[in-house]
Structure 1
Amino acid sequence: MRGLLYIIAVILVIGWALGFFVYSAGGIIHTLLVIAIIALILGVIRRA
């Protein structure tokens, strides 16, 4: 489960970066970033 969270977070960060630099979609891009950060934080908390 922990590996899956990291994979999802990486995909969301890559999607955010591509969207930020290629196409400005406003709030959707920043929502992806927030979800990715939350997934990373949850992974760190569950590992500890």
Structure 2
Amino acid sequence: MPTFLKIVIAIVVIWLAFGLIGAILKAVVGLLIAAAVVTVIGGIAYAAIKGRSSRQIGR
């Protein structure tokens, strides 16, 4: 196999690897953002429920 063809194949393989890594990182960032939003909403809901249950009616 000619050297030029080996170089082209190597460049294509590296390009595909970087593309795959980029796609994986993009998905991970999206999941992290979704998890942060769910955590904040859950914390707010928990604080609201906890604050409501600690109040006493008669006082």
TM-score (norm 1): 0.48
Q: Which has the higher contact order (CA 8 A, sep 6+)?
A: 1
For the pair shown, the structure with the greater C-alpha radius of gyration is: 2
TM-score (norm 2): 0.40
